[in-house]
Amino acid sequence: MFRFGQPEYLYLLLALPALLGMFIYLRTRQTSARNIFSSYELFQRLSGDHSSRKGIVKATLLTLAFTLLVVGLSNPQVGTRMEEVKQEGVDLFIALDVSKSMLAEDIKPNRLEKAKYEVGNLIQRLAGDKVGLIVFSGEAFTQFPLTIDYSAASLLIDVVDVESVPNPGTAIGSAIAQAMKSFNFDDQAAKVLIIMTDGENNAGDAIEKAKEAAEKGVRIFTVGLGSPQGAPIPVYNASGQQVDFKKDRSGNVVLTKLDESSLEEIASIGKGKYYRASNTQDELDAIYRQINTLEKREFGVKKFTEFDDKFQYFLACALLLLLIEVILSDKKTRWLAQYNPFRGLRGVRETP
């Protein structure tokens, strides 16, 4: 496969006609000026060893050098091989709670931002494991499926917020069910689900869904974000400024509390472990160390090899032609005249 790394430089080739036109114009003016002051025969006697054909050669060298220089700047690249890269890893889904309660600030800057920060760090540590993200509140959606494109995964995590799922609530069971739909159980890789939430499950039967997942061999880890004592949920205006706290119908400030017992039970059913998030620890790092102890499956990924840059060859040729143009004199080359097949014929006015 052939391509240009910086194809925008190829537009400089549009200057070639102007360059050629300039050479033709200058040569025509030179010839006209010479004919005004002398005949061709007189000019030949006066100019001595001057060769007009050397001017054409030098102009040709400059034109070729310019063309090669432009092509070199466009960075021609070649990369035709497709190779299979062997990797090994587990299938890992992260279920991230994006309900309004995740805006509580008992963990700084808030529960959701803390969770996103840890997920981003986890993805940077992955090496061969497939990772996917499920976002949930009142229902669950797959933000991105299992992938080894960690750069794209990191970008998609950055855009997650409490508006990612329109339905309010916290349906942990729905998140588990969505992960079960997204896993490929024909694949023998170990399956891991990490649930990051404040644990206030209020929709569906999370315990039953956890049991179904465990029966299929899915290892479940849970991370609780928040505090059992609870924290208010800030309310922001369109400018991003906090204007109040969420209140119930009676006008009382709502406190969102971490439900650790449910998360501990889900992790126990899934043969994993429960972690409470804190301001100073990275809980996903501890989970990842446990994931690395699981049996990993080897798989092949087809990738194009890196494109090889070939610009240096074109630039080298351009510099060589420029060097030849500089050292090439305007005088006739006497030894070439001996091999001129038209020497001595009428109408042949000069030799190089």
Residue 154 has pLDDT above 70, yes or no: yes
Alpha carbons 112 and 99: distance in angstroms, whole number: 9
Q: Which of 94-98, 196-200, 228-232, 265-269 has the lowest mean pLDDT?
A: 196-200
Residue 300 has pLDDT above 70, yes or no: no
Residue 338 has pLDDT above 50, yes or no: yes
Q: With b meaning 16 or more CB within 10 Å and e meaning fewer, what string describes 18-49?
A: eeeeebeeeeeeeeeeeeeeeeeeeeeeebee
Residue 339 has pLDDT above 70, yes or no: no
Report which of residues 2 and 208 the model is more confident about. Answer: 208
- pLDDT-derived band at 349, boundaries 50, 70, 90: very low
Residue 113 has pLDDT above 90, yes or no: yes
- pLDDT-derived band at 178, boundaries 50, 70, 90: very high
pLDDT at 9: 87
pTM of the model: 0.61
Residue 5 has pLDDT above 70, yes or no: yes
Domains of the chain: 2-79+308-337 (no CATH), 84-301 (3.40.50.410)
pLDDT at 350: 45
pLDDT at 146: 93
Residue 281 has pLDDT above 90, yes or no: no
- pLDDT-derived band at 352, boundaries 50, 70, 90: very low
Residues present in the chain in total = 352
Residue 173 has pLDDT above 70, yes or no: yes
Residues in CB range of 134: below 8 A, 6 or more apart: 93, 94, 95, 96, 140, 141, 142, 143, 175, 178, 179, 182
- Map 38-81 to HEC letters: CCHHHHHHHHCCECHHHHHHHHHHHHHHHHHHHHHHCCEEECCC
Average pLDDT over residues 275-280: 88
Average pLDDT over residues 166-181: 90
- pLDDT-derived band at 45, boundaries 50, 70, 90: low
Average predicted confidence (pLDDT) for the chain? 82
Instruction: Detail the DSSP E strand segments found in the chain.
Output: 2-4, 76-78, 82-89, 91-97, 130-136, 140-147, 191-197, 218-224, 231-232, 234-236, 242-245, 255-256, 274-276, 297-304, 308-309
Average pLDDT over residues 185-200: 87
Q: Which of 125-134, 152-161, 222-231, 284-293 has the lowest mean pLDDT?
A: 284-293
127-146 per-position pLDDT tens digit: 878 999 999 998 999 999 99
Residue 77 has pLDDT above 60, yes or no: yes
